[in-house]
Amino acid sequence: MSIFTQCLNPITGTSTWEEKDQDYDYHQEVARSAFADMLHDHERNQKYYVALEAAIRKKHEAGEEANVLDIGTGTGLLSMMAARCGADTITACEAFKPMALCAARIIKENGFGDKIKLIHKRSTEMTVGNNGDMPKKANILVTEVFDTDLIGEGALSTFRHAHETLLEKDSIVIPNSGTMWVQVVESKSVCAWNRIEPIRDVGTQRILVDAASSIKSCSGAAAVHDIQLTRLPHNEFKPLLPPQPIFRFDWSGHTPLKYDDKVCLNVLPIENGTAHAIFMWWDLNMDTEGKVLLSCAPVWEHPDVKKLPHNNINLDEQADLIPWRDHWMQAIYYLPSEIQLSINEEVCLVGYHDEYSFWFDVQKGPKEHVSDCDRPICSCCVHIAYSRTRIGQLNDKKRNNKYIKALSKKIQPNSTCVCFSDGCLLGLAAAQLGAKKVYLLETNFLSQKTIEMFVKTNNLKEKVEIVETVDNLPPADTVDLIFGEPYFISSIVPWENLRFWYLASQYSSQIQRIPIAATIKAVAVEFKDLHKIRAPLGVCEGFDLSSFDKLIQASSDKSDSPLEAQPLWEYPARALSSPFVIKTFDLYTNVYDHKRVQISDDVPILQNGSCNGVALWVDWQLDSEISVSCGPTQEIVPGKRISWDRYTRQGVHIFRNIKDVSCEDLLSWSFAFAPQHGSIELQFKIISRKQNKNG
């Protein structure tokens, strides 16, 4: 039996009804719960294993039983580790029912069914005593309830409740403690993800579009910016303060955990500069002796890297030596206001946290005179309307200059322009370049409010009109230029920005337009790590977790697209083929005049390697001379790592069955496009040249 669900087609902009499995919501929830990349984290697994073994041994040497409680067991991995280490009793709890059932199956298949008691509850709902979930309190707690923010998944309340209700007084807790580290930096590159800079004319450098004072003074979004900081080029930021351990959380229960806290540290800067942002990461002391440390530090501060001899080892090579994690990244906190720091003037670094989040400030003067800083809330709409990636794109000077050059060629003093893009500041630039009238289609309310502020700030009310619906667009005989970046908030993968083509097709092909063409391109790659987010586990640390693979795979097949969007600059990939063209679209034509497209081809593999994915992007041809790519920033060379555009997300196909490939192999691909429905399908597989000849 199936059900029909209403879905927005991001390419056509229309809502359609799609037939789905009757358990689609269930499968989607299960697929989203996948955490295979975490279980592929061998260092994490091993350090939990070592800490568990030490805790159980310590209890036994003291003449006590080792009674383990595993909170949020997931697949049951940590509970099975405890069983293998000789724990006397093990109670595991898992609130998410599909995962709890999967854990029960895995535990039984690995021969621990009579050793581990599984409770289908949240730990905060568990009871102790006769007829309770546990007959007596545990004396060892093992849990992994951390996210990139450390406490964002409710770690504070989980540990506090466990100590109050579920654990004996002198229990051993794994991990034993956690420390949040921060580093104040100067970085214009980092600021590009947070504050909108003026857009200038290419030739005269006069400001074409400036941001409102309310945008410039906005403290930004409350959420920190999760990012793989290790991949940020080291020459694009300058540390101004040495790394500071600003909050330490004692999970052991010896020191009470506070839901709200404030810390002030007097610190002497190590460099002169402007404090723009704070880099954040954390580490865990896994054992009671502090011998087992699990660090999430970026490469330049990672304790394992600091032990290495630095002769002839560059940062990229160092980065390849530290554990990769997508479940625990680093983060950027954008300071509410810039502050000048000097190496001879001590400053106060202020940190705050509530039950789930952190925020910070840097102030001059002694900590006795520090004023309180509230948790930041966006008051300007920009940080709510647009993603970090989009804000960075709005600040991309090279990209903006290309659009301004293309616009300058087409715009005349009497030009009337229609702009099809969400939050398009370049549409305002068109008005400043001399267009008589610019119509901006803005169907998203928050984006609309944001652009209204820009229109007002730049005194463009007479020349720029915001249009809320397609029905209110100006008639064709009054329009001289159709323009778009293209960018749409509803678009996920790059080719969904072909929404521009559908909107432009409402007008005659005789009207000039920018861009004039779009080309979908791709390349076969070997991801260093990204494929682990979808790779099956099989045997993990000696335990068979194939039932978890089957659960996730079955639900993913029913609810996930085989193509997803990723910021590939954060995830190193080596090219195994030359880049190739899948399809070029002439944007001057009417999309509805096209018939269904069905094409396929084979691309030679040019480098030996593990072909675990295909990366895809779109090149936009603005005119006969100027193009903009949302893909590579340098020429792709087979065998070399690819440099990706930092301000867009690329499309990714990850192979589930990863193959080692050689120059005897081919990447076979097929592409289908139904213009009337706005549906695009892409499929990839690896075949041998011999198979291709016989086929």
DSSP strand pairing (563-566 vs 650-661):
antiparallel
Question: Which residue carries 């018939």 as its tokens?
Answer: 595
DSSP letter (8 states) at residue 641: B
Measured CA to CA, the distance from residue 474 to residue 461 in angstroms comes to 17
Residue with tokens 């021969």: 111
Catalytic residue numbers, as ranges = 144, 153
Q: Decide if 411 contacts 434 (C-beta within 8 A).
A: yes
Are the CB atoms for 424 and 460 separated by under 8 Å?
no
Q: Torsion angle, CA of 225/231/234/235, rounded to 10 degrees?
A: -90
Q: Which amino acid is at 171?
A: S
Sequence-distant (6+) residues with CB within 8 A of 381 are 446, 449, 450, 453
User: Which segments of 286-427 are extended strands (E)?
Assistant: 293-295, 330-341, 347-353, 358-364, 416-419
Q: Which tokens hold the place of 50?
A: 């070592």
**Which residues, including other chains, have CB under 8 Å from residue 218's CB and lie 6 or more apart?**
378, 379, 380, 382, 383
The token pair that represents 690 in the structure block: 């011999």
Helix (H, G, I), strand (E, B) or coil at 199: strand
Full 3-state SS string of 479-539: CCEEECCCCCCCCCCHHHHHHHHHHHCCCCCCCEEECCEEEEEEEEEEECCHHHHCCCCCE
419 three-state secondary structure: strand
Are 350 and 370 a contacting pair, CB within 8 Å? yes
Pairing of strands 679-688, 665-674: antiparallel
Q: Cβ neighbours of residue 397 under 8 Å, at least 6 residues apart?
A: none
Q: CA 504: distance to chain centroid?
A: 31
Q: What are phi and psi of 551, to 5 degrees?
A: -60, -50
Helix residue ranges per DSSP H, 542-620 = 546-559
Q: How far is 305 from 457, CA to CA, in rounded Å? A: 48
- What CA–CA distance (Å, rounded) separates 70 from 59? 16
In degrees and rounded to multiples of 5, residue 688 shows phi and psi of: -85, 155
**Distance of alpha carbon 192 from alpha carbon 225, whole angstroms:** 12
Q: Rg of the chain over CA atoms, in angstroms?
A: 28
**DSSP 8-state secondary structure symbol assigned to residue 555:** H
The C-alpha atoms of residue 35 and residue 39 are separated, in whole angstroms, by 7
Q: Is the dihedral of CA 562, 563, 565, 566 positive or negative?
A: positive
3-state helix, strand, coil in the chain (%, to 5): 25, 35, 40
Q: Which candidate, 583, 603, 627, places its Cα nearest to that of 523?
A: 603
Residue 178 CA from chain centroid, whole number: 23
* Residues 508, 308: Cα–Cα separation, whole Å: 64
- Residue pair 604/611 in contact (Cβ under 8 Å)? The answer is no
- Residue 481's nearest CA partner among 431, 442, 444 is 431
AA identity, residue 218: C
CB atoms within 10 A of CB 480: 17
